[in-house]
Structure 1
Amino acid sequence: MAVVYVVEQGAVVRKESGRILVEKSGEKLLSVPIIHVDRMLIFGNVHLTAPAVAALMEAGVDVAFLSMRGRLRGMLSSLSSRNVFLRMAQYDRWRDTAFRIRTAKAILKAKIFNQRQLLQRYARNHPELDLSKAMDEVNEALEQIEGIDEDGEIRTVIGKLMGIEGRASGAYFGGFGRMLRAEMGFETRQRRPAPDPINSLLSLGYTMLTNEIASLLEAHSFDPLFGFLHSIRYGRKSLALDLVEEFRQPVVDRFVLKTVNLRIFKEEDFRRHSDGGIYLTEDGLRRFFDRYEEYIEEGISVKGRKKSFRKLFDDQVLELERAIMDNATYRPFRIQL
């Protein structure tokens, strides 16, 4: 199954005899059987015809609409799964303070562990680079988060957990910047607007990751708005953000390090927008999606077996379902490098 990205501005997506066509000015840019499409992501000014929408929905293909800067505008989703019992259990666990705190703590411990793994792997491969300060601070954060008392008012406990995670991420990104072998103005992690090409790539990668996991959660009958770590906010898919945390370093950060250090992306692939932010050009976006798909499908070795990241995403959604249905401890993904 394929993920179709449409970034050609002014293009039209239409249906023709069981296929999805992407055309512009009479030129056929893409033709793919609908049965081979898993998801579609549309960027910027692209027209989707009504017959194409109907065909995609009937085939169970979700369509995400994003700005050219990678901001998710909205989604079209086919009818979701009907597992009402999972949703009932999810709401029950959300009301269970002990379960929420236990799950939030497990997610953040895994995130900080993955940060440490990436730093340690790079330090082993590049002994000339001193990452000891970043690793010491991340290790300290792991010890601190382990010592957090799980008994207490939920906002207070999660506030403490997020505070520790914030300090760990600050130290980690200090080391991350030193791992980059291309000068692109990266100093620290900043979100909107991205002030440099590295932050631009990270933000786009996290958007892709969040969108994919949100779609997967809905396909499995979860309510993506009810998270255990991230608080409820109008329109925010907090549960997707929860699961994204354990995959930030294994997926997006490693991808950005690899592509930048191999000079796949250079400064000329970016442009400054009127909001002051730095974003990929249209050609840069195409290259990003090509490389991202290769990377996601290539995956990583887990317990001696190669798995695509999409399989790992699905594994973790099923793991969360197990934890919720059995009122058990959630086991996040931890990378072994």
Structure 2
Amino acid sequence: MQTPGARITKKDFTLVIQVEGEADRTVPLDEVSDVVLAGPVSLTTPAVHELLRRDVSVTWMSSGFWYLGSTGREGPKSAVNRTAQYTFAADDARRLAFARELVAAKIRNGRTMLRRNWRGETGERGPVLDRLALLADRTARAETRDGLLGLEGEAAALYFRALPKLFAEPVATMPAFAFERRNRRPPADPVNACLSLAYALLTRTFASATSAVGLDPWKGVYHVERPGRPALALDLIEPFRPLLADSAVLMALNNGELGSDDFVFAAGGCNLTPRSRRTLVAAYERRLDQETTHPAFGYQISMRRLIQVQARLFARFCAGEIPRYPHYVPR
């Protein structure tokens, strides 16, 4: 929910969504798995209590969809997983080994995204894919975090320069959706505004999943820890950025769900209108519901459930129960 001034209350076995000027909407509590509130939206105390009893996570975000924190779904009533996580994070050799595989997975998934969805000249695709494959391979020889950052940065520049090649013709020829490079804080154009919102949603999803298994979303391995920054969630989303966030953005743009009138420019930046935010959130939720094959177990699973399983596997990896964390790298 993101409508300013909206109020969510509890009545019997439902949540009631109240928005000024609109009829009340009800949602059965049995159908609620997560609640996400962005901006000045209120949740009554009885509603909070019932969601806590049902172990339903409530995620609090700013109006710009920056993750602020979560209520509920505290995970195991034990510090075992967090203790193992802190021990792992203190081991520089294990951290570097994990970071190498993390960055390699991100680069390879970006390459897969380009390979699967390329709409530009075929001759332009090969050199980009070859360079990304080379950069992914080079991560195994990186000796420091700074070295990995350099490889990741070069791969990101290549990937985002090629991103317009994935746009459908109506989008590619529309001046409003011209895209040259990734920028943020604030995003300067509609495509960057969409990417920023999608990455914020993905961060929220992983922060909730890691908290649910007893991990600390603020204690990172690859990302530097800063106040208010869910560093572990930012770590684990890296391989999923192209496959979930970028994919949702492309889905909304190429399907014509977002148009040039769905964005506002103010204070030197670009943002989505409330309606277009709901549209992109819906596209992201649809992407989470799509099924894939789990990298370790081989069975079909929704992307939403995959993220929850990955959080559990990361906890087991930190504890030394499995030798490697199985990154999601589809072909």
- Contact 1:134–1:174 under 8 Å retained in 2: no
**TM-score computed with the length of structure 1 as normaliser:** 0.89
Following the alignment from structure 2 to structure 1, what is the Cα–Cα distance between the partners of residues 92 and 226? 18
User: What's the % identity of the aligned pairs?
Assistant: 30
Following the alignment from structure 1 to structure 2, what is the Cα–Cα distance between the partners of residues 172 and 262? 22
Following the alignment from structure 2 to structure 1, what is the Cα–Cα distance between the partners of residues 329 and 136? 14
Find the counterpart in structure 1 of residue 200 from structure 2: 207
SS of the counterpart of 1:295? Answer: helix
Find the counterpart in structure 2 of residue 153 from structure 1: none
Following the alignment from structure 1 to structure 2, what is the Cα–Cα distance between the partners of residues 26 and 194? 32
Q: Does 2:289 match 1:294?
A: no
Residue from 158, 167, 176 that aligns with 1:180? 167
Q: Which moved more, 1:52-61 or 1:90-99?
A: 52-61
Find the counterpart in structure 2 of residue 315 from structure 1: 309
SS of the counterpart of 1:318? Answer: helix
Following the alignment from structure 2 to structure 1, what is the Cα–Cα distance between the partners of residues 25 and 19? 10
What is the deviation of 1:332? 1.0
Residue from 104, 113, 129 that aligns with 1:118? 113
Alignment of 1:69-148 (within 5 A): 69-123=64-118, 128=122, 130-148=124-142
Find the counterpart in structure 2 of residue 331 from structure 1: 326
What is the deviation of 1:40? 0.8
Following the alignment from structure 1 to structure 2, what is the Cα–Cα distance between the partners of residues 33 and 192? 37
- Contact 1:21–1:28 under 8 Å retained in 2: no
Deviations 1:132-154 (A, max 9, x none): 342233123123212224xxxxx
What is the deviation of 1:263? 1.6
Alignment of 1:1-337 (within 5 A): 6-25=1-20, 27-123=22-118, 128=122, 130-149=124-143, 157-181=144-168, 182=171, 183=174, 184-273=177-266, 275-301=267-293, 306-326=300-320, 328-336=323-331
What is the deviation of 1:129? 6.4
- Contact 2:160–2:181 under 8 Å retained in 1: yes
- Contact 1:102–1:329 under 8 Å retained in 2: no
Following the alignment from structure 1 to structure 2, what is the Cα–Cα distance between the partners of residues 95 and 72? 26
Deviations 1:114-139 (A, max 9, x none): 1111122234x765462234223312
Deviations 1:54-93 (A, max 9, x none): 2222222222222332223343235442232222211111
What is the deviation of 1:30? 2.2
The number of equivalent residue pairs is 322
- RMSD between aligned alpha carbons? 2.1
- Contact 1:250–1:335 under 8 Å retained in 2: no
Find the counterpart in structure 2 of residue 3 from structure 1: none
- Contact 2:253–2:259 under 8 Å retained in 1: yes
- Contact 2:37–2:60 under 8 Å retained in 1: yes
1:171 alignment partner AA: L
**TM-score computed with the length of structure 2 as normaliser:** 0.90
SS of the counterpart of 1:130? Answer: helix
SS of the counterpart of 2:124? Answer: coil
Find the counterpart in structure 2 of residue 152 from structure 1: none
Following the alignment from structure 1 to structure 2, what is the Cα–Cα distance between the partners of residues 97 and 59? 39
What is the deviation of 1:238? 1.0
- Contact 2:103–2:136 under 8 Å retained in 1: no
2:87 alignment partner AA: D
What is the deviation of 1:301? 4.8
Following the alignment from structure 1 to structure 2, what is the Cα–Cα distance between the partners of residues 60 and 130? 50
Deviations 1:231-260 (A, max 9, x none): 222232111111000111111112212221
Deviations 1:257-279 (A, max 9, x none): 22212221111111113x32211
- Contact 1:106–1:331 under 8 Å retained in 2: no
In structure 1, runs of 5+ residues without a counterpart are 1-5, 150-156
Residues 79/71 of structure 1: CA separation in 2 closer, same or farther (3 Å cut): closer
SS of the counterpart of 1:175? Answer: helix
In structure 2, runs of 5+ residues without a counterpart are none
- Contact 2:104–2:137 under 8 Å retained in 1: no
Q: Which moved more, 1:20-29 or 1:38-47?
A: 20-29
Following the alignment from structure 1 to structure 2, what is the Cα–Cα distance between the partners of residues 288 and 322? 33
What is the deviation of 1:94? 1.2
SS of the counterpart of 1:9? Answer: coil
